[in-house]
């Protein structure tokens, strides 16, 4: 089993719909991150969490929200999806900010 | 505001050649500089990393060169192989263990190594 698991792997949704992307980890890491990847823009940080009670905005948090349900679970929500949120989304974990381990990614398409 | 700027966006190299990817950063508080490698359909994975107290780090065919005064660092891939074809990301982070240790990535470089 993968250490960092993202669900779903692919999702097509309609504009205005609420959608949740989930991430779970078995590495026991304290820190979890959500990034989005767009061609030519690299990986941009959406939100990050240092522990269950510590949630921080990243570079591009507008239109997104997160929930750290447990140390091992970090979910990303799009309250009202819009087409420019079409992207590849990655969850990552690290131990106290060291090497980051990424999930396989979720390809989200908003139509 | 792009805190880490990476170039080139794409690179084509012949097998056996040297691939060079450059990054520049602005925040002098950054003290951890990793490079990540991403194959299609996969998440990025750590390739090699350096801290600013050294000017170079080598692991096999991969070398990071770091210039603290210029706020630049680069990845050199010696004897490039077709299996190195991937997207490469540089990144930078503020002090590990502190309350700001988040990884900021560059824009990525797509490397193609021709046989």
The DSSP call for residue B43 is -
pLDDT at B101 over 70: no
Q: What is the mean pLDDT of residues B78-93?
A: 96
What does pLDDT average to over chain A? Answer: 94
pLDDT of residue B100: 59
**Least confident span in A54-58, A94-98, B60-64:** A94-98
| Cα Rg of chain A (Å, integer) | 13
Whether the Cβ atoms of residue B57 and residue B48 lie closer than 8 Å to each other: yes
- Which position has the token pair 């990986």? A43
Cβ-defined contact of A102 to B43 (cutoff 8 Å): yes
Contacts of B99 in chain A (CB under 8 A): 50
pLDDT of residue B61: 97
Burial of A62 (0-12, 13-18, 19+ CB in 10 A): exposed
Whether the Cβ atoms of residue B30 and residue B92 lie closer than 8 Å to each other: yes
Burial of A105 (0-12, 13-18, 19+ CB in 10 A): buried
Query: Chain B contact for A25, CB < 8 A?
Result: no
Using CA atoms of B7, B10, B14, B17 in order, give the dihedral in degrees to the nearest 10: 20
Condensed to tens digits (0 to 9), the pLDDT of residues B24-73 reads: 999 888 888 999 999 999 999 999 999 888 999 999 999 999 999 999 99
User: What is the side-by-side order of every strand in the sheet holding B56-59?
Assistant: B4-7, B19-25, B72-77, B62-67, B56-59
The confidence band for B1, taking pLDDT boundaries of 50, 70 and 90, is: low
How many beta-carbon contacts under 8 Å exist across A and B? Answer: 67
The confidence band for A1, taking pLDDT boundaries of 50, 70 and 90, is: low
pLDDT at A96 over 80: no
The confidence band for A98, taking pLDDT boundaries of 50, 70 and 90, is: confident
Condensed to tens digits (0 to 9), the pLDDT of residues A24-46 reads: 999 999 999 999 999 888 999 99
The confidence band for B99, taking pLDDT boundaries of 50, 70 and 90, is: low
The confidence band for B2, taking pLDDT boundaries of 50, 70 and 90, is: low
Nearest to A4 by CA among A100, A108, A107: A100
Query: Chain B contact for A93, CB < 8 A?
Result: no
């Amino acid at each position: 089993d993968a250490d960092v698991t993202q669900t779903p792997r692919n999702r097509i949704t309609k504009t205005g719909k609420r959608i949740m992307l989930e991430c779970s980890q078995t590495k026991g890491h304290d820190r979890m991150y959500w990034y989005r990847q767009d061609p030519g823009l690299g990986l941009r940080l959406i939100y990050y969490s240092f522990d269950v009670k510590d949630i921080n905005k990243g570079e591009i948090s507008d239109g997104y929200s997160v929930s750290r349900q447990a140390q091992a679970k970090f979910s990303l929500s799009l309250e009202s999806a819009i087409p420019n949120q079409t992207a590849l989304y990655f969850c990552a974990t690290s131990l106290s900010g060291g090497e980051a381990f990424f999930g396989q990614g979720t390809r989200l398409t908003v139509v | 505001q792009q805190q880490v700027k990476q170039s080139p966006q794409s690179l084509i190299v012949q097998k056996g050649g040297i691939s060079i990817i450059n990054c520049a950063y602005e925040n002098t508080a950054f003290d951890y500089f990793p490079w990540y490698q991403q194959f299609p359909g996969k998440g990025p994975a750590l390739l090699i990393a350096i801290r600013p107290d050294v000017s170079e780090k080598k692991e096999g065919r991969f070398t990071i060169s770091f210039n603290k005064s210029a706020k630049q660092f680069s990845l050199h891939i010696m004897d490039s192989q077709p299996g190195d074809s991937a997207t490469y990301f540089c990144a930078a982070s503020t002090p590990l263990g502190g309350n700001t240790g988040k990884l900021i990535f560059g824009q990525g470089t797509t490397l193609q190594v021709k046989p």
